Structure 1
């Protein structure tokens, strides 16, 4: 069963409410099937964040877990691995326990040398070296349909541009993208209507990634190539060669991160811009405002909702937590928190003190953030240079999917040639 055919709420698997969870903190929230999602993923998450919503709520869906509803908590939990561990970062728990990629499921100090291995190829200096190549990919794609006066943005651009860039950095063929994308979707939006079914789906997808990368790792160990995979698998961990099982997890994580997040972020962003031509005009009139406004875009359109594992019994923001509880961190709710941002649903290119957790925080802050920022800036610059005025086709109905990484498809854009 796919996310598209997920069971209605009445048939969802509900967990009993633990004795220590007060009834006023219980909310029926399913990360994979948000109420009101037909209006948009971010709009649906924002409905969770009402003025009287407690900072922590409990849902009986997806195995039963807490949800942090305010930016302050989301930021703080990410930065506190001593209290909130990464040993289980997916919900339901069965999916999180099946997830076997590193270093995202590690805590410091074990996590640190693996993160350094990733940063070798994704640090800001390295990313600046490939900007002209990234720009060439964007230009080639946009000019391929600009004269047509229309495109399906998700299909014709967002699903190709960051994937093509990333596979080139990893030294992998573009023809592998379809199979890898299918695995990525099962990782971030695992199919099934019970925690056990979702756990099986994720375990199979995780195994699929490992099977794909194993021969590539074997080929590139000991190599001198400059691609991301060669750099990582030949990194030392605490003065010794990286263990093979950790190589599988590390390279798989690299591909998962590069294939699903920026793809969906771009699509959410372009739906908004197609509906708000005044924001597009601001970008065109002031290139510096466009450049500074990229961070505002990341605030507004966060797509990741991962979790943390409570290390020990504690009281947190007046709520009793038990060791082993999971807390979901919907990054969208940090950027959309009206206690931190005025009119948070609006993209304000002049906004100051933009606060968000779109790239997470603390030791697990996204290693690919420099690449993501550059991809978004380059894409906007080259798109607006060729297609400055565009809109959603009349009657367009984007299809939204919620999950560990939110997604959207069916984005028909039109413009005058």
Structure 2
């Protein structure tokens, strides 16, 4: 086996290998700084998923934890909270322990009433009511630069469109976006060169969210508004008003989810389309194929890598796990698993039986998935109606970041006016 991809990086902090971890399962994988990331986040994750890579590998980096490398494990672990708990969902462990947002740190049945509170404003029926407003935002942004012959997609659209939509749904001022984006970046890609430093960075960002939403929660308690925050903070949990600490976590989670995931997904998708004009032509040729193809996009460009806590000692896929072990679930590796998808790096708009964990699975399946699907569909429809052919600017070098949520910046697109 060629081990070049897993060559040691001497400057990084390493955890000692536990006794129950066989040496042959150890790989040097840093979820926050993937080897080969300059070629792309998904390309870097895919290099780890070799034919001879075990279904579970262990890395001494980011505090020491397992990584599930195959789609069947990622799907199964998400669906089984009785064996794989959400009490710690971030790596390194120090960051996971500092993370205080709910209900992502909860397991059923404690999790269930909080999830119902979130779903009040994000269920499919509610999201359909705002489709025309979402479309208007997309049209306004695209028409603002369509005549220019180019834009930095990540900066001018990807980082603006979902944020404007979400802040409007939450009833928050657009000028707060920059501050909230900085906090979101530190939550999903915490700075620091050791687990302790990353834990402190995440703790500070978590506090920043709580400090921001605290006064807003107080102001909207008892209110009759229809914005997402008012709906949530006036929900009852087991027949009682939601407690302040839980409201802080719930509203902060809402903002974190709305400000980081779709923002980055859109840019990954557009980089691919800019490099594959034949796929763009196929999307333009058939409105129905475009709508159906959105699910294929979600398979191909998953951005989340969160973790689960092993509840008890067990043997899992031939590997000994101990209570307290953490397993990272890179959702990209489900969608890119060639055991489940032929030629998985290619966007195939005719692909059948598309399976992925881009929105997770089980009780923590993403509450914002209906909004995300709408935002991606509308972006493709309105962009291609106004900019039917486009490419990456010659010499463009997108800058990729891995982490709990993968990110990309510097996405210069050009087109003929």
Q: TM-score per shorter chain, which class? A: over 0.9
The answer to whether 1:214 aligns with 2:214 is: yes
Aligned to 2:357: 357
Shift, 1:204, TM fit: 0.1
Aligned to 1:87: 87
Cα distance per residue 1:42-67 (max 9 Å; x no partner): 00000000000000000000000000
SS in 1 for 2:372: helix
TM-score by length of 2: 0.98
Within a 5 Å distance, the mapping from 1:262-281 to structure 2 comes to 262-281=262-281
Aligned to 2:188: 188
Aligned to 1:386: 386
CA distance in 2, matches of 1:11, 1:395: 31
SS in 2 for 1:259: helix
CA distance in 1, matches of 2:375, 2:337: 26
Aligned to 1:283: 283
Shift, 1:127, TM fit: 0.2
Aligned to 1:3: none
Aligned to 1:133: 133
SS in 2 for 1:151: strand
Cα distance per residue 1:261-292 (max 9 Å; x no partner): 00000000000000000000001111110010
CA distance in 2, matches of 1:126, 1:397: 39
CA distance in 2, matches of 1:364, 1:285: 36
Shift, 1:9, TM fit: 2.7
Aligned to 2:344: 344
TM-score by length of 1: 0.98
Aligned to 2:243: 243
Aligned to 1:55: 55
Cα distance per residue 1:365-394 (max 9 Å; x no partner): 000000000000001000000000000000
Aligned to 2:36: 36
Alignment length, in residue pairs?
A: 410
Shift, 1:416, TM fit: 0.1
Within a 5 Å distance, the mapping from 1:93-108 to structure 2 comes to 93-108=93-108
Aligned to 2:306: 306
SS in 1 for 2:308: strand
Cα distance per residue 1:133-176 (max 9 Å; x no partner): 00000000000000000000000000000000000000000000
CA distance in 2, matches of 1:204, 1:238: 31
CA distance in 2, matches of 1:389, 1:100: 44
The answer to whether 1:255 aligns with 2:255 is: yes
SS in 2 for 1:297: helix
Structure 2: gaps of 5 or more residues: 1-7
Shift, 1:10, TM fit: 1.8
SS in 2 for 1:408: strand
Aligned to 2:324: 324
SS in 2 for 1:57: strand
CA distance in 1, matches of 2:327, 2:207: 26
Shift, 1:253, TM fit: 0.1
Cα distance per residue 1:298-356 (max 9 Å; x no partner): 00000000000000000000000000000000000000000000000000000000000
Aligned to 1:121: 121
SS in 1 for 2:400: strand
Flag as ranges the 4+ runs of structure 1 deviating above 3 A: none
Q: CA RMSD in A?
A: 0.6
Cα distance per residue 1:191-223 (max 9 Å; x no partner): 000000000000000000000000000000000
CA distance in 1, matches of 2:261, 2:337: 21
